[in-house]
Amino acid sequence: MPKTKIVESEPISENEDLCSKYWCDNGDRWDFFTMITGLLLLIMGLCCSTIEVGYIIYTYRIQCYCVGLWCSAGFLLIGTLAMGLYHYESVPSASLMLFCVMCDLIFGIVMPLIAIAFTIKCGKLNVFYYPITMICILVGLISIVHIFFVTRELLKLRRQFYREG
């Protein structure tokens, strides 16, 4: 996502570079942090589903409410949103950014907390679920950081909107 820059309404002097005063980018570059965040969430979602499917194939039964599969679905969703949100030529709409923050809260913090409770209970019976617990903790931390940065961009947009009005 292009970084939101507060635009001053004063005239630009001849000595100032326009691209330092205003954000100038052609939209071809991705924000490195967001791309890495999206890729990490996608990889962690694939790891959870692989662990769960491997366990189902190994034991021929479903255990622990298939916590790895529904966690991986949520992680893949927020990873896809994180990567898709930032592939814009300009700043994405505030409603889309707010939707991504809400998905990060639900699928990146609340759902992993529920999954951690299930996997700790199931981990007492089978150590196989401890990697899913570790992945859920990492996704929660990554989601908190992602929420912070997207909220920061939303507040910049709000400030810019009120300066123009």
Q: What is the model's pTM?
A: 0.79
CA distances from 50 to 9, 34, 77, 114 (A): 53, 24, 16, 19
pLDDT in tens, 71-103: 999 999 999 998 887 766 567 788 888 999 999
CA quadruple 112, 45, 27, 21: dihedral, nearest 10: 30
Helices (runs of H) and strands (runs of E) counted in the chain: 6, 0
Report whether pLDDT(15) > 60: no
Over the stretch 97-155, which tens digit does the pLDDT of each residue have?
Answer: 899 999 999 999 999 999 999 998 888 878 888 999 999 999 999 999 999 988 988 88
pLDDT tier, 8 (very low <50, low <70, confident <90, very high otherwise):
low
Q: What percent of the chain has pLDDT over 70?
A: 76
At position 82, the amino acid (one-letter code) is: A
Local confidence band at 48 (pLDDT 50, 70, 90 cut-offs): very high
